[in-house]
Structure 1
Amino acid sequence: MGRNWFCVLALALAAPAAAQPARVGDFQRSVDIGKVGKTGAAVRDAAGTYRITGGGANIWGSEDAFRYLSTVRSGDLHIEADVAFLGAGKDPHRKAGLMIRQNLTPGSPYADVMLHGDGLVSLQYREVQDGPTHEIRSNATGAKRLRLEREGAYVFFSVAGADGVLRHAGGNTPIGFAGPYHVGLAVSAHDDAVTETATFANVALRVPTLAHVPDTGYPAAVESTLEVMDVTGAESRRVVRHFDGKIEAPNWTRDGQWLIYNSKGLLYRIPPAGGTPDAIETGPQRKNNNDHGISPDGRWLAISDQSQADDHSRIYVLPIGGSKTPRLVAGHASTPSYWHGWSPDGRTIAYTATRPETNDFDIYAKDLAGGAERRLSTAPGLDDGPEYSPDGRHIYFNSARSGAMQIWRIGADGSDPEQVTRDPAWRDWFPHFSPDGKWIVFISFGLDVALGDHPPNRDVMLRIMPADGSARPRVLTRLFGGQGTINVPSWSPDGKQIAFVSYRLVR
């Protein structure tokens, strides 16, 4: 084996200098990646504009085919350029954009921001060698300038329209680039029988200046992105709207027309396709937190509000369109209550609360018609996030009772506790059922988070598993998030998508 290794090394060292890719402008090499039917090319004119012609079937799936003009860098980096196609093109899915790539194999881990022939702009990424490609679609239109941003373990992107001002497009994902990586400009024809050409003007590679954030928890200033994600197989993410401040906890209305979220104590609604948010009237309740949700018939909204002088969260119900007089339905004079679930028949709510006679947060239920609340969980350790199964037989919740934060379930009357997730490497919170009852989505924190905490601004995952436990949880997506990401039920009525919030530190 050693002899063969020396032969390979000798051949590599003997390769003639002429075989090395030629430098183009500020980039070290211009090469075709993967299998391309037509050879690409790259040149730079006297004004500094790069013109790249590329073939290849696509930048997607588990292997790519495109023309790449790149150089080697390491650490944090922003790359930006004015990007435009030349000619009408053959395929509306042709791509031109900016890319960071671990290596030059077709299946390399990568992240890019791509302008498509039909105007779509998206952040694409492959997390592992030869793995699948994922996507975060922006809501930007008329893009003229793009920027791909690597900051620590995460990649972000920005887009400029006709005014030329780059604005954060929202969404993020961690990519573990190891050591030096390739960065540059890429073009793929999306049809291996042809080539497509794009120009890249005013190209800039910069190391960003990032202010130190001493406390990335609740005091940290953040930007927020409201996103929806397909969970039926494509598992692509789409930006609904990017916000300069903090928003939390989207609900999807039963008719599919709105997403409802909270921000700075108020509730807002916005169409899932994007647009301008509208405030929802909640009367004197103006310190709403991120524990709110919609009745099964879609007519009512439950809120958890802390407007009273003692700052304890209490639960109110109001019409879905808003009201100046929400009705108090659950609360206590000296301890907080946080709504999380609604029984399928609409008659009962489930919530987490602590009471003077207990030291833990437990699961409670109360009939909206009146009567005393019922304590359903009594085991030592925090219980939170109760949600009824669609058949009404069980309440699922997250619990620390085993010494690891996991998903559990009990009967609707509190009987027969049963553990659902069992991976000690993750702290699982907030189980949410698909409308047909077949799937559960939840958020998973790492062991860097305290057992009973679900803080903001952490590396988290959204995971999904069959409700019947027939398969282990699998990762839907990784993101920078946590508290506020998916605290409440957020499935679309057709069961094909979920809504959530990702975050970015203001630095």
Structure 2
Amino acid sequence: MNVRTSRAFPALTAIAALALFSALHARAAEAQAQTRIEPLGVFDGHGDIGTVLHAGTARYDAAAGTYTVTGSGENMWFGTDDFHFVWKKVSGDVAISADITFEGSQGNNHRKAVLMIRQSLDGNSPAVDVARHGDGLTSLQFRLTPGEDDHEVQSNLTAPVRVRLEKRGDFFYAFVTGKDGKLHPSGASIKLPLSGEFYVGIGVCAHDKDATQTARFSRVKIEALPAAGDAKPILWSTLETVPIASTDRQVAYVAQAHFEAPNWSRDGSFFLFNQGGGIYKLAVGGDTPERISTGAQVQCNNDHGISPDGTMIAISDSTQLKSSQVYTLPITGGTPKQITQNAPSYWHGWSPDGSTLAFTGQRGDNFDIYTIPVAGGEEKRLTTAPGLDDGPEYSPDGAWIYFNSERTGHMQIWRMHSDGGSQEQVIMSETNDWFPHISPDGKSMVYVSFEKGVIGHPPNKDVTLNVMTLADKKVKVLAHLFGGQGTMNVPSWSPDSTKIAFVSYELLTDEPRD
């Protein structure tokens, strides 16, 4: 019995091995069949990415110039993408544009048709895409490192007919059609270095593993982008909001202009920002800012804010002395009242009881933190450390003033009692951290971080927006963006402590896009 068993076992093993080999060969052949490397219009091939239960398809109608793509997949989010991808392998700076329409109206609202650029065909690859969702939501989605959760910047335009994705160096920009039918910057951009060759293409995800969805892509255009040359780039500014919980950014307003430093109104219904020396009001959900009258003060900078009761604003203006002074005026506009006599003085904080302003002032060769009664009077110096102390802001209970100071050798976040006592460092980091803002509920602090070695708070830099939970000092990155000066200089929390407002910037070439 033992001999017969010992002889039979190798035979069974060989049969099992042959069956396993056949199964693996069949799966490999199936995978090869699903990833077809053959020309399809302007593309090199197509196939399913990630894990799908239903194989996708793609076909090209040369006469109509349209691509019809069917895809399954549970999602294009979190750490991996499951979808059908039609691709071309390229390198350098490139753009892809297309008109996108879904076939039929049924399916998950978050089904996606995308223009995409990704490093590889792996499901967890770093990637950037402009995604048209089934419900009309259009966003720039991105995964910065392999397997990292996706993030997005949502456009303020719903269901644009035509979209475009540009890669210029390490930066990616999304464009959407406006009311005039022309492509304009959506305000969404991200920095993501890709190495060597990468993939550009179109794709569809059903956002339902048990279903398929189909989308048509027409007037598809892939183009190599020329070097920018010596032409001066055009600055676009974008007012964005970001929820602390999800970190999914939303564009509120974008314009070919230089504006800065949003405040969120006390009732949550509008934003204030400065542009060209004026203070502007923009309704949440609105698209046309209106200038608030500031009388003779027409050189307002980015240090402004709203009183605790929401009836007044403080501004910092250099009209009178060509150097900044602090004023207050009704939030509806009017004649400003001068508060500080000495200059330069830059407003940053309003005490919770409405009686006192905190500001940064240069007196002699040093910048320090001062307070002054709103009614006017003598200024009080609170800091004396060598170097720059800046950005003072009261905690909601009035017990503390938070500020940033370079007294350690590089800019860090500090706090002190409202009378200037008990000055202590809040957080220690390698980055240069600026402009702490405390949430209305007193639980969190947001601030801007510049890279190590950056001096001051200049414009046009790669920065991060961070949030720290004050109870445990845990820090989370809310956003990576191109900005710096003007991004978040002043208080910008929503009144319910769930979101912040900020400004990001884009330097774009002036060229026709279609």
TM-score of the two chains, using structure 2 as the length reference: 0.90
Determine the structure 2 residue equivalent to 1:168: 185
Runs of 4+ in 1 over 3 A off after TM superposition: 15-20, 161-164, 212-215
Determine the structure 2 residue equivalent to 1:433: 438
Code of the aligned partner of 1:69: V
Q: What is the CA–CA distance in structure 2 between the aligned matches of 1:273 and 1:496, rounded to whole Å? A: 17
Q: What is the CA–CA distance in structure 2 between the aligned matches of 1:205 and 1:121, rounded to whole Å? A: 20
Q: Percent identity?
A: 49
Q: Where do residues 154-165 of structure 1 align in structure 2 (5 Å cutoff)?
A: 154-161=171-178, 163-165=180-182
Cα RMSD for the two superposed structures = 1.9
Code of the aligned partner of 2:464: M
From 122, 142, 145, the counterpart of 1:128:
145
SS of the residue corresponding to residue 190 of structure 1 reads coil
Q: Which piece of structure 1 moves more, 485-494 or 46-55?
A: 46-55
In the alignment, is the contact (CA less than 8 A) between 1:143 and 1:162 conserved in 2? Answer: no
Structure 2 portions without partners, runs of 5+: 1-23, 510-514
From 447, 457, 460, the counterpart of 1:457:
460
Computing the radius of gyration from Cα coordinates, the structure with the larger value is 2
- Give 1:369 shift: 2.6
Q: What is the CA–CA distance in structure 2 between the aligned matches of 1:29 and 1:415, rounded to whole Å? A: 67
Determine the structure 2 residue equivalent to 1:322: 333
SS of the residue corresponding to residue 169 of structure 1 reads strand
Determine the structure 2 residue equivalent to 1:387: 393
Determine the structure 2 residue equivalent to 1:236: 248
Distance 1:365 1:38, change over 3 A: same
1:30 aligns with 2:46: yes
Deviations 1:243-276 (A, max 9, x none): 1111100000101111000000011111222321
Q: What is the CA–CA distance in structure 2 between the aligned matches of 1:98 and 1:172, rounded to whole Å? A: 14
In the alignment, is the contact (CA less than 8 A) between 2:395 and 2:438 conserved in 1? Answer: yes
SS of the residue corresponding to residue 473 of structure 1 reads strand
Determine the structure 2 residue equivalent to 1:276: 288
Determine the structure 2 residue equivalent to 1:343: 351
In the alignment, is the contact (CA less than 8 A) between 2:115 and 2:129 conserved in 1? Answer: yes
Q: What is the CA–CA distance in structure 2 between the aligned matches of 1:82 and 1:278, rounded to whole Å? A: 34
1:411 aligns with 2:422: no
- Give 1:18 shift: 6.6
From 323, 342, 354, the counterpart of 2:362:
354
Q: What is the CA–CA distance in structure 1 between the aligned matches of 2:90 and 2:219, rounded to whole Å? A: 19
TM-score of the two chains, using structure 1 as the length reference: 0.91
1:68 aligns with 2:85: yes
From 420, 426, 447, the counterpart of 2:426:
420
Q: Where do residues 81-230 of structure 1 align in structure 2 (5 Å cutoff)?
A: 81-161=98-178, 163-212=180-229, 221-230=234-243
Code of the aligned partner of 1:327: K
Distance 1:367 1:213, change over 3 A: farther
Q: What is the CA–CA distance in structure 2 between the aligned matches of 1:423 and 1:476, rounded to whole Å? A: 17
Determine the structure 1 residue equivalent to 2:59: 43
Code of the aligned partner of 2:311: R
Structure 1 portions without partners, runs of 5+: 1-10
- Give 1:416 shift: 1.6
Q: Where do residues 442-481 of structure 1 align in structure 2 (5 Å cutoff)?
A: 442-450=447-455, 453-468=456-471, 470-481=472-483
Deviations 1:59-105 (A, max 9, x none): 11112211001111122211111111111232221110201111222
SS of the residue corresponding to residue 332 of structure 2 reads coil
Deviations 1:350-397 (A, max 9, x none): 0001113xx111000011133310010000110110001111111111
In the alignment, is the contact (CA less than 8 A) between 1:292 and 1:301 conserved in 2? Answer: yes
- Give 1:108 shift: 1.4
- Give 1:31 shift: 0.8
Code of the aligned partner of 2:411: M
Q: Which piece of structure 1 moves more, 167-176 or 244-253?
A: 167-176
